[in-house]
Amino acid sequence: MRPIEFRAWDTKAKRFRYYSFFEGDLECVMANRYGQPQEYTGLLDKNGKKYWEDSLVRGLKCQYNDSGAIGKVYYNEHFAAYWVLACDGSYNVSLGNANWWEVIGDIHTTPKLLEDK
């Protein structure tokens, strides 16, 4: 079973706060204190970095993306799975094959990556 982990961006301290599933009512605590919680997907990229909701990833050459476009990880409720939506709109595909992606940042610590696209 994958670890159930969450993080939330602390706007005052300008850093992430990390929590595990076993630390109480996370949704309530984190939403009121820090902001929207982001869940760990249970997957690692080719470099061993964790994929979190709102991670920014670069697509490696694969059948869906040969441009190296940047995308954002999100939870697709329709498919009950984590997906990647390209910032330039060129693709929207399942995160399923984690080796296709490389974590390069997130929406809080590297927002410039979103602006450039």
* Percent over 70 (pLDDT), the chain: 79
pLDDT, tens digit (0-9, with 9 covering 90-100), for 82-93: 999 888 777 788
Give the global pTM: 0.80
Query: Who wins on pLDDT, 11 or 28?
Result: 11
75: which 2 tokens? 């939870």
pLDDT single digits (tens) 72-81: 999 999 999 9
* Structure confidence at residue 52 as a pLDDT band (50, 70, 90): very high
Q: Distance between CA atoms of 105 and 56, rounded to whole angstroms?
A: 5
Count of Cβ atoms closer than 10 Å to residue 25 Cβ: 8
53: CATH: 2.30.30.290
| 48 contacts: CB under 8 Å, gap ≥ 6 | none
Tally the domains of the chain: 1
| Rg over CA atoms, the chain | 14
Range of the domain at 38: 5-115
H or E stretch at 28: helix 26-33
Mean pLDDT of 44-62: 87
44 vs 34 pLDDT, higher one = 44
